[in-house]
Structures are given as C-alpha cells and as structure tokens.
C-alpha cells in the first residue's frame, strides 16, 4: 500500500482565498483523522470520521473550516475564507480501528499571506 | 487542556549521550502509544505499551509504562543524530486521540 496520500504537499495562498486539502486513506481503514500542527499548539485533532461519517468535529476552529468524506477513499478539508492564522501543517491519518495505530500522511504545509 | 503532559519540551544533546523523556497524566489509560515525527514528515508509531509496569525495548530505545498506567517514559541510550525528531505520546484504546505537545530532540554529531 502507498500509505496515506495527501495533496497538495505545499500551498501558498492569500488571505480570503478558499483552500482545499485532500486525503486518501489506507484502503480498508475505517477511521480518518484530520490534524493541524503548529509550534504554539502542537498536534491538534480537528475532526475524525468512522466509516465516512463525521464523529467528532469539536476541534474544528470555526465555521470557516469544513470537512467531508464522500467515500471510503477520499476526504477533503476546506478553509473558506482562509486567514494568516490558519498557516500550519495539516495532517491526515487513518487507522483500522478506533484507538489503534494511526498512519499519517506527509502533511500539507499551508501558508496564508 | 492537554490530557498528556510531556517533558522536557526541548532537548539538545551530543551524540552518545543518554536521555529520558516523560509522558504524564492524571488519567488512567488502557494503553499508551509513542510516536516519532522526523522533520518534514508525519508521526510514525514506535511502540504501544499496554500493561502497567511493562517495559519494551526497541534497539536503543526503552519504553516503560507506569504501574498505575498514568505515565510513561522513553529512555534512549547512546543517542545518534538519526534519533532527532519530535517524540509524541497518545492514549491508545481511545476513540478521540489527544496527543501530548511532544519532546523535540536534537542530537548533534
């Protein structure tokens, strides 16, 4: 398996623009997680899905953030409109079962100017 | 509020030195996971400790789970530059993973 795939790897955009981050989990994994990592706040869980259904989105900062998982092999995290404080590394991870090993993608490095 | 407190936050040492990093909580966990994140990459699982008092070894890395299953430590013997990275702990067996802030380790050649 190729592991968790994220795209793009790097994104530079201007404040106010829409940003869409993409993730393909490992085939057969039932759980998908979106994280944000910054120096100040560490690795924060934004939202996670079980069998394509959002289970807990309490970590989503505000209404500007939304996440979808239309099928078992694809998820998106959208920020609209983006702000400079959204600059961070965004990770997607998947696991076979809840509480089991999480496999992380390489991350998307987002810079909002 | 962080469920898991990790210390120290930063550690910069010379090759060959030994070190210990800690992961503490007031909560009891059924298991605890240790991950390492290398620069520019996502975290990768190193080990899961399950039983109170358990000790697991991974080459030069020794992981211990506290008797009360509230804390854990990671000891590295004769650190090498390849050990450089961010060491994160997270509760296993939990549907809502909450990572500690991590210990950022730099090993200088």
Would you write out chain A's pLDDT as a tens digit for each of its 113 residues?
Answer: 689 999 999 999 999 999 999 999 999 999 999 999 999 899 999 999 999 999 999 999 889 999 999 999 999 999 999 999 999 999 999 999 887 899 999 999 999 99
For A19, list phi and psi in degrees, rounded to 5: -125, 135
Residue by residue, what is the 3-state secondary structure of chain A? Answer: CCCCEEECCEEEECCCCCEEEEEECCCCCCEEEEEEEECCCEEEEEEEEECCEEEECCCCCCCCEEEEEEECCEEEEEECCCCHHHCEEEEEEEECCCCCCCEECCCEEEEEC
Instruction: Answer yes or no: do B101 and A42 touch at CB < 8 A.
Output: yes
- Strands of B85-92's sheet in order across: B10-14, B103-108, B85-92, B31-37, B44-49
- B49 and B32 in contact (C-beta within 8 Å)? yes
**Per-residue tokens: A43:** 């690795």
pLDDT digits (tens, 9 = 90+) for B46-76: 999 999 999 999 999 999 999 999 999 999 9
Take residue B52 and report the two structure tokens written for it: 């109170």
pLDDT for the residue numbered B95: 60
* B80: nearest Cα among B5, B6, B14, B11: B14
Q: Do B43 and A102 touch (CB under 8 A)?
A: yes
Mapped onto helix, strand or coil, the DSSP state of residue B85 is strand
Interface of B with A in 3-32 (CB under 8 A): 31
Q: How much is the pLDDT for A100?
A: 86
Q: Which strands sit side by side in the sheet containing B19-24, from one edge to the other?
A: B5-7, B19-24, B71-76, B61-65, B55-58
User: Which residues of chain A lie closer than 8 angstroms to B41, CB-CB?
Assistant: 106-107
Mutate to test the interface with A, among B34, B46, B97 (most CBs of A within 10 A): B97
Bridge partners for A110 per DSSP: A11, A88
Residue numbers in B near A55 (CB within 8 A): 95
Chain B nearest-CA residue for A10: B40
Q: Do A105 and B45 touch (CB under 8 A)?
A: no
Interface test with A, best of B34, B42, B94, B103 (most A CBs within 10 A): B42
User: In sequence order, what are the beta bridge partners of B62?
Assistant: B57, B75
Ranges of chain B with pLDDT below 70: 1-2, 94-95
């Amino acid at each position: 398996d190729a592991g968790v795939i994220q795209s793009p790897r790097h994104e530079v955009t201007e404040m106010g623009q829409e940003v869409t981050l993409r993730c393909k989990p490992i085939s057969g994994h039932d759980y998908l997680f979106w994280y944000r990592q910054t120096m100040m706040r560490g690795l924060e869980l934004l939202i996670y899905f079980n069998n394509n259904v959002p289970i807990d989105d309490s970590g989503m900062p505000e209404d500007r953030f939304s996440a979808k998982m239309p099928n078992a092999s694809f998820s998106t995290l959208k920020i609209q409109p983006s702000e400079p404080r959204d600059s961070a590394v965004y990770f997607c991870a998947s696991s076979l079962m809840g509480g089991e090993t999480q496999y992380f993608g390489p991350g998307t490095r987002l810079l909002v100017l | 509020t962080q469920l898991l407190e990790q210390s120290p936050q930063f550690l910069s040492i010379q090759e060959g030195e030994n070190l210990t990093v800690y992961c503490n909580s007031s909560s009891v966990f059924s298991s605890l996971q240790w991950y390492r994140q290398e620069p520019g990459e996502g975290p990768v699982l190193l080990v899961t400790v399950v039983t109170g008092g358990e000790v697991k070894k991974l080459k030069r890395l020794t992981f211990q789970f506290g008797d009360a299953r509230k804390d854990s430590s990671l000891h590295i013997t004769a650190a090498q530059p390849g050990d450089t990275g961010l060491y994160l702990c997270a509760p296993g067996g939990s549907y809502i993973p909450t990572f500690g802030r991590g210990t950022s380790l730099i090993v200088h050649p």
